[in-house]
Amino acid sequence: MKNRACTQAARIDARSELIQLLLLAATVILVMLSLAPEAAARGTWPGYGHKPTIVLVHGAWAGPSGWKDVVRDLHNDGYRTVTPALDLLSIEGDVAIVRDTLDAIHGDKILVGHSYGGVVISNAAYGRSDILALVYTAAIVPEEGESVVSVGDGYVPSAALDHLVFTGEAWNSPALIDPAFFHEIFAADLSPRKAAAMNAAQGATHPAALLSPSGPVAWHDLPTYYAVSGKDLIIDPNEQRWMAERAGATTIEFANASHVGGFAAHADDFTALITRAIRDTSHRPR
């Protein structure tokens, strides 16, 4: 009887130990699930591996939601993405926003910029060792001291300049592109539905952000990639080709793309350019 009692006690102890282990495992899983949204937002998934995080920076008269097709494709390929929202009031302020974003992400990053966002990523990456490459689409790639406006001297002026709606005093307050002209000059190769969504997400942009000089830039020291939009009315395609050549960028061109068409109408091909940048640079000595 004594031996039988001891055996039963041992079984009870073993069951109790198993239940405790299962409860501990369940607790760990619940903690991981609670951390997942925050980790995803920061691009810091524990144990995710060594893939770089892709940080996509929007341009003037735009917002983070414009990247949704590229974000979808990158997620399908197993990459993390972060899409910070710029203030669009000054280069210094927007560079600070992106640098803070980069500081919150562990590991290597690829910086992607559209339009004015090209100025921001060129500045934000300067002096950092965690940026593998810069990828531009229909973007400004300035030299230090150049502004969005001055780098375009000698090229066709932006069609946006004739269709701005200021929120206050003209040329001294943030401005939007007149919604009646947005589809025509900003997103001509997009469907009316997609163009309307981008129109609604416009970020009012202060002229100071377009007129102020760039700080030191990183493209002299980093591998650079550029997608030219061949039918762009916001940044002259010839200006884009010249900036890409000056930066020594690996360049592709979407012949019929509007200002946003390179990453919207051609999202799959532009995503392929980003993944090419990753493949080319992931094992680059630094």
Task: Report if residue 102 sits inside a domain.
Answer: yes
Task: Report if residue 276 sits inside a domain.
Answer: yes
In terms of Cα–Cα distance, which of 175, 130, 161, 136 is closest to 282?
130
Residue 201 to residue 27: CA distance in whole angstroms: 40
pLDDT given at position 93: 98
* CB distance 102 to 124 below 8 Å: yes
Residue 126 to residue 192: CA distance in whole angstroms: 38
Task: Report if residue 229 sits inside a domain.
Answer: yes
CA quadruple 81, 142, 238, 190: dihedral, nearest 10:
30
Strand order of the sheet with strand 250-254? 81-82, 53-57, 109-115, 131-139, 224-229, 250-254
Locate 128 and state its tokens: 């950092």
Task: Report if residue 245 sits inside a domain.
Answer: yes
Residue 110 to residue 44: CA distance in whole angstroms: 14
Instruction: Mark whether 97 and 169 lie in a shared domain.
Output: yes
Task: Report if residue 267 sits inside a domain.
Answer: yes
Instruction: Mark whether 157 and 20 lie in a shared domain.
Output: no
Instruction: Mark whether 235 and 192 lie in a shared domain.
Output: yes
Task: Report if residue 286 sits inside a domain.
Answer: no
Cβ count within 10 A of residue 285 = 3
First-to-last alpha carbon distance for the chain, in angstroms, is 73
pLDDT given at position 50: 83
Instruction: Mark whether 252 and 276 lie in a shared domain.
Output: yes
14 is in which domain, residue-wise? 1-38
At residue 127's C-alpha, the angle toward residues 139 and 78, to 5°, is 60
Instruction: Mark whether 32 and 56 lie in a shared domain.
Output: no
User: How does strand 109-115 pair with strand 131-139?
Assistant: parallel
DSSP structure class, residue 191:
-
* CB distance 102 to 109 below 8 Å: yes
Instruction: Mark whether 56 and 80 lie in a shared domain.
Output: yes
Instruction: Mark whether 16 and 89 lie in a shared domain.
Output: no
pLDDT given at position 282: 85
Residue 252 to residue 241: CA distance in whole angstroms: 10
Task: Report if residue 88 sits inside a domain.
Answer: yes
Instruction: Mark whether 1 and 75 lie in a shared domain.
Output: no
DSSP structure class, residue 175:
E
pLDDT given at position 209: 98
Residue 143 to residue 210: CA distance in whole angstroms: 14
Instruction: Mark whether 98 and 160 lie in a shared domain.
Output: yes
Task: Report if residue 46 sits inside a domain.
Answer: no
Indicate the number of domains in the chain. Answer: 2
Instruction: Mark whether 246 and 114 lie in a shared domain.
Output: yes
Cβ count within 10 A of residue 83 = 19
Residue that has been written with the tokens 């060792």 in this structure: 129
Residue 116 to residue 259: CA distance in whole angstroms: 11
The amino acid occupying position 270 is F
Instruction: Mark whether 59 and 187 lie in a shared domain.
Output: yes
Per-residue pLDDT tens digits of the chain, which is 286 residues long:
444 444 454 444 545 554 454 444 444 344 344 444 434 333 333 334 589 999 999 999 999 999 999 999 999 999 999 999 999 999 999 999 999 999 999 999 999 999 999 999 999 999 999 999 999 999 999 999 999 999 999 999 999 999 999 999 999 999 999 999 999 999 999 999 999 999 999 999 999 999 999 999 999 999 999 999 999 999 999 999 999 999 999 999 999 999 999 999 999 999 999 999 999 998 766 5
Instruction: Mark whether 23 and 127 lie in a shared domain.
Output: no
List C-alpha distances in Å: 172 to 182, 207, 210.
21, 7, 12
pLDDT given at position 6: 46
